[in-house]
Chain A
Amino acid sequence: MGTMGLALPWKARISSTPRERGTRVEPSEHFAGGHHPAVVDAPSEDAALAAACRSGDLRAYERLYAMHGARMKNLARNVLGNPIDAEDAVQETFLKVHRSIASFRGQSSFITWTYRILINTCYDARRSRLRKKEVANEDSEETPRHEPRAPGAHPALRMALERALAKLTQHQRDVFLLYEVEGFRHAEIAGMLELTETASKNTLFQAKKNLRLMLEPPRSSAAEAR
């Protein structure tokens, strides 16, 4: 029992890799990586941004985009599988925020509310894509079409993970993406997906367990590799 046996290029695995990109491997609510400057917005800043957006100030929306646009697009891309649909979803989200900001009462943070809209928009886009597929009498199984993206350090690792993620339940995939990829805390994810914090933690645990099983090579080949 030496190395762990995930069927991925793990040479650059955890202990030897500096966490310059802020991997989330420690307990969820004690995360100290700070890999993204906008992970936690100060409540006052959040409220000020919401108020500015409510007043119709386009600069406020620009600020929201500057703070979260890239992350929103990345999340949408991981859910929808391609950058064009992801950009459409982000644009639609901004329009929905603009249309319904008057109904935002501040029960959750403005950013959490915005991401909730984004996630719902992505679901809608997927459903609509599925309907179009059915109309076209194609394969009705909804599997995100992952298109090439900027080359990462481990493209094979990324592709394997994308394939495995597609096999998870929607909730498990969303929690994994929000927590491990986008760096949100469980309290924030709970607000976005309308579940409890405990459920978010448990869903992430189940997601990682399933991913581990899917990405682990057969025992025999793992043994040969040693």
Chain B
Amino acid sequence: MKNMNVTCNDRDRIFEDGTLAEWAALEAHATTCPPCAEELGAWKSLSFAAQELRDYTESPALWPRIERALAEEAERKTLRAERRGWFSFFRNIPIGWQTVAASAFVLVLTISAGWFYLHPPRNGQPGDQSLLKSKALKEVESAETTYVQAIDKLAAEAKRQLDNPATPLLANYHEKLLVLDSAIADLRAQAGMNPSNAQLRQQLLAMYQEKQHTLEEVLETKQ
């Protein structure tokens, strides 16, 4: 390789972005230039000192910890995907059919709740336990689940409008829905403790109907 001439003025440039040949030339220049020799030594010393910050000691507990966290994360991911798959079934049903399902549910719920209202269970009678497991109650619960999912679909459609209400009316609807949701949550908790209480079921039904109407009004506003 042909010898390259460098001067003290080239030093910083070579430190910053010099080629191999330039570094070799600087080394050669430093043998006869004490200031450059000192600078070069200091520059290299920093690289040497940096090695003191390198500590690749094994951490035996770290990988098992990460592995556990990854496995838990993977499990959560799978559960989320399964849940999404289940709800996507409802999303694929046309809105008309959802309305029909919701109406059917309301009908079943009304009949069931009426039946319970007209035939209240008598405490202490042996028939109480069978009433809790009755087919009607299962139907009510199943219909309620479908109805709630249909309402949730409506709520999802109206969400964007409600999150950023363009008019005071929409803001009012938003507040009303928040109140309804809170009341529904309370009633659901009570109904969970006493599933055969027809009065609670009726109140819950009324709340759901109100929520449905409110959401329909919101969606109509959109149209």
* Chain A residues proximal to chain B, CB less than 8 Å: 1-6, 8, 10, 12-15, 17, 21-28, 30, 56, 58, 61-62, 65, 69-71, 73-74, 77-78, 83, 87, 90-91, 94-95, 98-99, 149-150, 152-155, 157-158, 161-162, 176-177, 180-182, 198, 201-202, 204-205, 208, 211-212, 215-216
Contact = CB atoms under 8 A, between A and B. Distances in A.
Contacts of B39: 4
B160 interface: no
A58 B67 contact: yes
Interface in B33-67: 34-35, 37-39, 41-59, 62-63, 65-67
5 closest A-B pairs by beta carbon, nearest first, are A180-B50, A158-B52, A14-B44, A205-B16, A70-B56
B70 A25 contact: no
B50 A181 contact: yes
Nearest to B14: A27
Contact of A205 (B15, B45, B54, B67): B15
A91 B46 contact: no
B51 A21 contact: yes
B20 A74 contact: no
A162 to B, nearest CB: 7
A87 B62 contact: yes
A95 B54 contact: no
Interface in B1-47: 12, 14-20, 22-23, 34-35, 37-39, 41-47
Interface string B165-191: 000000000000000000000000000
Contacts, number: 159
A91 B66 contact: yes
Residue among A91, A177, A198 with the highest chain B CB neighbour number at 10 A: A91
A149 to B, nearest CB: 5
Nearest to A66: B63
Contact of A13 (B12, B45, B63): B45
Report the contact-size class of chain B (Cβ under 8 Å from the partner). Answer: 35 or more
A17 B73 contact: no
B71 interface: yes
Contact of B43 (A10, A94, A153, A208): A208
Contacts of B45: 4, 6, 8, 10, 13-14
B79 interface: no
Nearest to A70: B56
Nearest to A22: B51
B156 interface: no
Nearest to B16: A205
A30 B38 contact: no
Contacts of A158: 49, 52-53
A14 B41 contact: yes
A3 B55 contact: no
A201 B52 CA distance: 22
25 contacts: A1-B37, A2-B38, A4-B45, A8-B45, A13-B44, A14-B45, A17-B48, A30-B19, A58-B74, A61-B70, A62-B63, A65-B63, A69-B63, A71-B56, A91-B65, A94-B69, A94-B70, A153-B52, A155-B52, A158-B53, A177-B53, A182-B54, A202-B16, A205-B15, A211-B46
